[in-house]
A and B are shown apart, each in its own frame.
Chain A
Amino acid sequence: DTEVTQTPKHLVMGMTNKKSLKCEQHMGHRAMYWYKQKAKKPPELMFVYSYEKLSINESVPSRFSPECPNSSLLNLHLHALQPEDSALYLCASSQDRTSGYNEQFFGPGTRLTVL
């Protein structure tokens, strides 16, 4: 299984809502990533988990809260978002972050719209 799955595919939420994005992989990868991508822009790294520990937080606002319950699952909890947070949120995984080799497998993404 070389697939990263993400749910939901689409999400519309108000600025006062709380929602969560979910990501799952069963490739035995020990590094997992959250990215944000705006239209016609490159993916921007938000968070990196390595061996289920948060290793990188790219100065992301606290209204985004990541969680890694186990080595296969990654969540992104959303609260009090702003309209400018509307974007495609991509999850990715890779074998690990220590070898230097960095082939990342991406999920299809969650298209988030904040009203």
Chain B
Amino acid sequence: GQSLEQPSEVTAVEGAIVQINCTYQTSGFYGLSWYQQHDGGAPTFLSYNALDGLEETGRFSSFLSRSDSYGYLLLQELQMKDSASYFCAVLGNYGQNFVFGPGTRLSVLP
């Protein structure tokens, strides 16, 4: 089977940097994705890592260490609109399984 762990809640202030960690267990690992979901909205794709290292997209970066089964999402220059739930998701079993983590609720305070 597959399992993922994320912190349930993170709070930070505007302009700060926050890191959301994700650890996973799976076989046949293909990649780790990150999605953002605002209350009442649909999940929106943020990033995908298949290889070790850092991927940067604007204010958001995502990191993967395959040997540690660990990844993180880094959000810089936080804005109020970044308040949302953030899910990591693993594509495992050689591409046959896609499972979301439990989600991290990010609250950005003024």
Contact = CB atoms under 8 A, between A and B. Distances in A.
Chains A and B bind each other: yes
Interface of A: 33, 40-45, 48, 56, 90, 92, 97-98, 100-109
B63 interface: no
Interface of B: 30-31, 33, 41-45, 48, 50, 87, 91, 95-103
A99 B54 CA distance: 20
B98 A107 contact: no
A41 B98 CA distance: 15
A107 B42 contact: yes
A64 to B, nearest CB: 18
Contacts of A103: 33, 45, 48
A76 B16 CA distance: 43
Contacts of B43: 43, 90, 92, 104, 106
Nearest to A101: B48
B50 A101 contact: yes
Contacts of B42: 90, 106-109
A97 B101 CA distance: 20
